[in-house]
Structure 1
Amino acid sequence: MGFGDPNEPKGDDIGSSWQFAREMTQKMTTVMPLLKEVSMIRQWAGLYNVSPDAQPILGEHPQVRGFYMAIGFSGHGFMLAPVASKLIAELILEGKTFLPIDKLDIGRFERGELILEPSVV
Structure 2
Amino acid sequence: MDVVGFWTRSWISDDGTAVRKLLAPDVEVEWNLDAPVDDEELMQVQHRIAAFADSVTVTGQTVAEDGAAVVYDLTAPFGTARMIEFLAVVEGRITEVRQVYDVTSTDRYFPGLYAN
* TM bucket normalised to smaller: under 0.3
Q: What TM-score does the superposition give when structure 1 sets the normalisation length?
A: 0.26
Higher relative contact order (CA 8 A, sep 6+): 2
Greater fraction of residues in strand: 2
Greater fraction of residues in helix: 1
Q: What TM-score does the superposition give when structure 2 sets the normalisation length?
A: 0.27
